[in-house]
Structure 1
Amino acid sequence: MTSNVIKSGVLDIIQEKYQNDTILLVVTSRDNVPSVRSVDSFYHDGSFWIVTDLRCNYVKEIQNNPYVMISDGGHNRFWCKGVIAGHPLDFKNASIRNVYLKVFEPWYKEVNNEDLESVCYVKVTPYKGYVHKNKIGYKFNITDDSVVVSDIKHHIDVKLEPFW
C-alpha cells in the first residue's frame, strides 16, 4: 500500500520512538570512506538533535558533506541532511535548548560545558528512510511525499510465534 507522509503516520512513529534520550548511530563520510559512531540524541519537530563539540571528526565531516545516515542499530534507518545549528546559548537556539534541558534532565548541564565556545548543536533532518512498528514497515521519502507501507514477514523485524 502507498500513502503520503502525513496520512501514513510515519512521522508520528519516529517521534514516538525517538523523542526521548536515545543512543543512535550516526554515519558520516570523508573522501567516500564511511565512519560510524554512537551519539546521544532525540527527535524533535522533524529532526534528530545532537549536542557535541565542533572539534569532533563527525562534525567536521558534516561541515564538508552534510549527508548523514542515522540508525538505531536495528533496521530503522534514516537518510538525512545535517547542519551545525550553533552554540547552545545562541539566541536562535533558545527554544531547542529548553527541549534539551527537558529530554536530558538531570544530566545535560553536568556533561555539557556551555562555557566552551566549541560546544554546538547538530540538527540532522531525515529526507527518506525506513521505520517499523507492530509488524508494519514504512519506507518513506519526505521529498517525494511518499510512503510504502507493508506487512513485515521476515524473522528479523518481527517477534516469531512458536510453532509448537
Structure 2
Amino acid sequence: MIEPAAELILEERFGKDSVIALATLDGGQPSARFVNAYYEDGAFYVITHALSDKMRQIGRNPAVGIAADWFTAHGVAENLGYLFAAENAAMAARLKLAFAQWFDNGHNDYADPNTILLRIRLTDGLLLSHGTRYALAF
C-alpha cells in the first residue's frame, strides 16, 4: 500500500484520460509507445487490440515500464479480455466516461472481441510532486 498523499496525487493526475508511455520488450529490444490510460487503485487501464504488437510482446513478457507527467513505474500487464465482457462492464463504463472525448470516434471496433481491456498492475515507481519525491511500492 502506498502512502495516502501519493495515491491522491496519482488519482488527481491520472484518474482521467491520460497519455502515458508504455514500454514492453520485443525480444531483447525495448519498444515504447504512447497510449491513453486511466488510473485506479494501483493500476492503469488501456483499451487496445489483442493482436497488436504490444499485446504479442506482453504475451511473451508481461513486465512493462511506464512514464508520464513526473511519474515512472514498473508493472505487470495482463489482458483482461473483451472490453465489454460481463466481468469488465464496470471498468468499461468508467473508461467510456474518462475517454468520452474520443471513445466513439470510430478508431476502435467495439464489436470486435479482440478489442480488449489491458490492466497494468503497478509494482513500484517514482512520483514527483511540488518538490516531494515519493518512492512507491504497490
2:59 is the counterpart of 1:63:
yes
- Structure-1 separation of matches of 2:81 and 2:3: 30
SS of residue paired to 1:114: coil
List gaps (5 residues or longer) in structure 2: none
1:6 matched residue in structure 2: 3
- Structure-2 separation of matches of 1:75 and 1:13: 11
Select 1:25's aligned residue among 11, 18, 21: 21
SS of residue paired to 2:3: helix
List gaps (5 residues or longer) in structure 1: 143-164
2:81 is the counterpart of 1:86:
yes
1:154 matched residue in structure 2: none
RMSD: 1.5
Q: Aligned residues: percent identity?
A: 19
Task: Output the TM-score relative to the length of structure 1.
Answer: 0.78
SS of residue paired to 1:128: strand
2:61 is the counterpart of 1:100:
no
SS of residue paired to 1:5: coil
- The residue correspondences of 1:1-164 to structure 2 (distance < 5 A) are 5-7=2-4, 9-72=5-68, 74-110=69-105, 111-142=107-138
> What is the deviation of 1:55?
1.4
Report how many aligned residue pairs link the two structures: 137
Deviations 1:66-97 (A, max 9, x none): 1010101x541011010001111110000000
Letter in 1 for 2:41: D
CA change 1:136–1:6 in 2 (3 A) is closer
Between Structure 1 and Structure 2, the one with more strand by share is: 2
Letter in 1 for 2:56: K
> What is the deviation of 1:113?
1.3
SS of residue paired to 2:34: strand
Task: Output the TM-score relative to the length of structure 2.
Answer: 0.92
Is the contact between residue 64 and residue 76 of structure 2 (CA under 8 Å) also seen in structure 1?
Answer: yes
> What is the deviation of 1:135?
0.9
> What is the deviation of 1:46?
2.0
> What is the deviation of 1:106?
4.0
- Structure-2 separation of matches of 1:12 and 1:26: 22
